[in-house]
Structure 1
Amino acid sequence: MEVRIFKPAKTAMQSGRGKIKNWVMEFEQTDRATPDDLIGWVGSSDTRKQVSLRFDSKEEAIEYAKKHGHTYTVQEEKTRKIKPKAYADNFAYSRQEPWTH
């Protein structure tokens, strides 16, 4: 079974970074999703795509995958660059462009 190990990105719906501390292991989809003839809902017989395991570190997730015989792909975590900003910088004398409405 193929699994993917990654660190999730921050959601766009909130400013907090609470749920991105853990590494996540998800199973890759093996069965194609098909629409139901009667209702039209999309479904699949593969229930593993609903499973998501969380680990404290990348090494723990890799150990778990090896222990259970899964082949894994690791997506390295992307570091974000924080540019310090201040409201006073909008009115600084050394500003390149004049501040206007």
Structure 2
Amino acid sequence: MEARIYKPAKSAMQSGRGNTKAWVLEFVNPAAHRRPDPLMGWTSIDDTSSQVRLHFDTREQAIAYAEREGLNFTVTEPRERIRLVKSYADNFSADRKQPWTH
């Protein structure tokens, strides 16, 4: 069984960084068959292990669990957040890079 270990990124709908501190191990089965449900149209899958997500405090704990259980796993490192420091006063600066448009 394959697993993926990653640190989730924040969603576009949130401004804070909640639920992004823990590492997640989720099972991946590329051979699982997905099909639409004929009545509701929802996507069904024949392997329910893809619904299991295990949360760990550190990456090392997640790797130790995967090795102890004999799982093939891949670790996806989180990308560093690029923070652009902006000031409201820069909008009215004399050496502004873009001309004032209105």
TM over 0.5: yes
Between the two proteins, what is the percent identity of the paired residues?
52
- Could you list the structure 1 runs, at least 4 aligned residues long, displaced by more than 3 angstroms after superposition: none
Query: How many equivalent pairs are there?
Result: 100
Q: Distance in 1 between matches of 2:99 and 2:43?
A: 54
Partner deviation per Cα, 1:35-80 (whole Å, 9 max, x = no partner): 34x4244312201111111111111100000011101000111001
Q: What are the equivalent positions in structure 2 for 1:1-101 lying under 5 Å apart? A: 1-29=1-29, 30-36=31-37, 38-39=38-39, 40-101=41-102
* Structure 1: gaps (5+ residues): none
* Structure 2: gaps (5+ residues): none
SS of 2:60 mapped into structure 1:
helix
**Please, what TM-score do these two structures have when normalized by structure 2?**
0.89
Q: CA deviation at 1:28?
A: 0.3
Matched AA of 1:25: L
**Please, what TM-score do these two structures have when normalized by structure 1?**
0.90
Q: CA deviation at 1:8?
A: 0.7
